[in-house]
Chains A and B, each alone.
Chain A
Amino acid sequence: MKRVGKQTIIFENKPKIIANSAIVGPKEFAGPLKDFFDYRIIDDKWNEDSFEKAERKMLEFAICTAIRRSKKKLKNIDMLIAGDLLNQIITSSYAARKIDTMYLGIYNACSTFTEALAIGSVLIDGEYLNNVACATGSHFSTAERQYRYPLELGNQRTPASQRTVTGAGCSILSLEGEGPKITMATMGKVIDYGIKDANNMGAAMAPAAMNTLLAHFEDTSTSPKDYDLILTGDLGNLGSELLKIIMNNHGVDISKNHNDCGKLIYSDIQRTVQGGSGSGCSASVFNSYIIKKLNSGEYNKILFAATGALLSTVSTQQGDSIPAIAHALVIER
């Protein structure tokens, strides 16, 4: 069996990430990762008549650019696996209309990107498919109106809140070709520590990240020092601090090599409170900054665990707590 422990899958054929593409909005482009993003949109609506259509266009753009960079023909891309934050994942499914291939629409909130990579890797490792495109995206203005309040409402942001990233990213997985290899995937369980504050996603997701990371270390008999980087998805500043503390309580110290996409994408002066979030956050940071560092050899082996808060406005209004999930991947050069 290609599995170790309870939750970790080993990819013997080592699917490769042969091409990437990321595109971000203006605020993200003004942040510290400016030099790593290849594409940005100058106007948040990107000449479309709604923010939803702009989000869709960004995802389409990320997918098409990644396919072009992989030097594969569209007919050789066997499948698109995509997800986003909007109700009924309309961004992904509408974007998939333009991509003439099999399509899996998936949703695990902000952890959707690693979920897509994990599913894609399984399909490739099992030699069912040759080339798979994995993509996710999100948009500040569409998420804000769906999950929170109208943009023009004059309310104050709470001190634990995060900003949904305007951005999209796509990775092309393939058996042949050059690129970082996905060697393992640890799929997460849904974890709920009873956090009810929908403005404190970092706190809701940190236990899920902990659960998946601990399961991974146990399954594979590795420890944090075996990795150059342990990258979480969008815990933000507060969630990252919480994760370090609760990991320490379990005797695992990740403080030396942990980082977080939500922390990386904005600088403190951008007034995003705790950092970035959203399914576009890990997708855009991974497909630009992280992949460039992997290709340049700065990182050789990373553990990438995107986290997702699986709430909806209905569950929040009914006073339910926030379940969360994290899926981790080992990516090696």
Chain B
Amino acid sequence: MINAASKEVKEKYDKLVNEMTPKSPHLKNIIMAFIFGGLVCVLGQAIYDTSSTLFPNLSSTELGSVQSIVLIFITALLTGLGIFDKIGNIAGAGTMIPITGFANAVSSTAIEFKKEGIIFGLSSKMYFVAGPVIVNGITASVIVGIIYYLIDLIF
């Protein structure tokens, strides 16, 4: 590492960079995240309530699925139309943390890699960004299930 700066120089430079780098508009971002995040959840609740009146025989778990599915559909459509990234740019975590963020990550990747073909592009890269959610979520659920099983055995 001949041309790498000494530790001292690096630390000094790192401090300078941190001082000089502009900060994101925190207050604005937080307010936008609150408003958009709240609105997305209200939309979810409205979907839930509407479908519970339309389909009174669905269980609350199934209604929860309907809520997710409709939000995912709306997000995928807005992503395809090229609108969602503009909303996301303003809303930040407000659209990223809700299930909309997950749906956007899947559909934007699918659209982006379509050019490399249906199989090796679209299909294989679809979960390139959102894959960690599925992989970690499913694995963790299996672990939780096993732990519950063991607890049941012991007690």
Contact = CB atoms under 8 A, between A and B. Distances in A.
Interface of A: 49-50, 52, 145, 149-160, 189-195, 200, 203, 207, 238, 241-242, 245-246
B80 to A, nearest CB: 8
Interface residues of B, number: 40
Contacts of A246: 13, 16
A130 B64 CA distance: 72
Given A159-B22, A195-B14, A242-B16, A151 B3 contact: no
Given A50-B115, A238-B21, A193 B88 contact: no
A108 to B, nearest CB: 15
9 contacts: A50-B115, A150-B109, A153-B129, A154-B85, A154-B86, A154-B89, A155-B85, A157-B89, A193-B4
A204 to B, nearest CB: 9
Contacts of B82: 152
B29 interface: yes
Q: Say whether chain B's binding surface is mostly helix, strand, loop, or mixed.
A: helix
Contacts of B104: 152-154
Contacts of A238: 20-22
Interface in B21-51: 21-24, 29
Contact of B111 (A152, A158, A189, A241): A152
The 8 A-B residue pairs with the shortest CB-CB distance, nearest first, are: A154-B88, A150-B112, A152-B108, A194-B10, A150-B108, A203-B17, A153-B108, A154-B85
Interface of B: 1, 3-5, 9-10, 13-14, 16-17, 20-24, 29, 79-80, 82, 84-89, 91-92, 95-96, 101, 104-105, 107-109, 111-113, 115, 129
Contacts of B13: 193-195, 207, 246
A194 B104 CA distance: 33
A23 B36 CA distance: 40
Among B29, B109, B113, the most chain A Cβ lie within 10 Å of the Cβ of: B109
Among A153, A195, A203, A238, the most chain B Cβ lie within 10 Å of the Cβ of: A153
A189 B13 CA distance: 18
Contacts of B20: 203, 238, 241-242, 245
Given A154-B96, A242-B16, A191 B21 contact: no
Q: Say whether chain A's binding surface is mostly helix, strand, loop, or mixed.
A: loop
A154 B129 contact: no
A152 B89 contact: no
A262 to B, nearest CB: 16
Given A207-B5, A246-B13, 13 more contacts: A150-B109, A152-B80, A154-B89, A154-B108, A155-B88, A155-B89, A157-B89, A158-B24, A159-B21, A160-B21, A193-B5, A193-B13, A245-B16
A242 B13 CA distance: 9
Contacts of B108: 149-154
Contacts of A189: 3
B94 to A, nearest CB: 10
Contacts of A159: 21-24
Given A238-B20, A245-B16, A153 B88 contact: yes
B38 to A, nearest CB: 17
A241 B17 CA distance: 10
A154 B95 CA distance: 8
Given A50-B115, A150-B111, A150-B112, A156 B24 contact: yes
A192 B29 contact: no
A135 to B, nearest CB: 24
Given A207-B5, A242-B20, A156 B84 contact: no
Given A49-B115, A153-B105, A155-B96, A242 B87 contact: no
A193 B3 contact: no
Contacts of B92: 156
